[in-house]
Amino acid sequence: MLRIHVVGTSAAQTEVTLSGMLDVAGSAALLAKLDQLIEEGRHHLVIDVSGVTFCNSSGISALVRSRARAVEMTGSLRLTSPSPAVRRVLDLTGLARMFEH
């Protein structure tokens, strides 16, 4: 199960903390939450993934789709503190750089 917490919002960015499993079910929940935040005008997202214990391709896909949506709105999506599970998938897919700026 993935837990999603919006921990801070400022004019510059919205901080979100994830913990648990970023699998098929978690990815759907994450995509819905990030879509909601973007619709609310929160276009600069910082996602702390230090508490993610499992991440598969559906999790990375949700992050890539959300990043693309934020960028379409002249925003950004950045990951911080990737757990070993997230780091491994980012490195295997070559997507680590996409989320670091």
User: pLDDT averaged over consecutive 10-residue blocks of the chain (101 residues)?
Assistant: 92 93 96 95 95 95 96 94 94 88 53
CA distance 85 to 65: 19
Query: What pLDDT does residue 10 have?
Result: 80
Query: What pLDDT does residue 75 have?
Result: 94
Dihedrals phi, psi of 42, to nearest 5 degrees: -90, 90
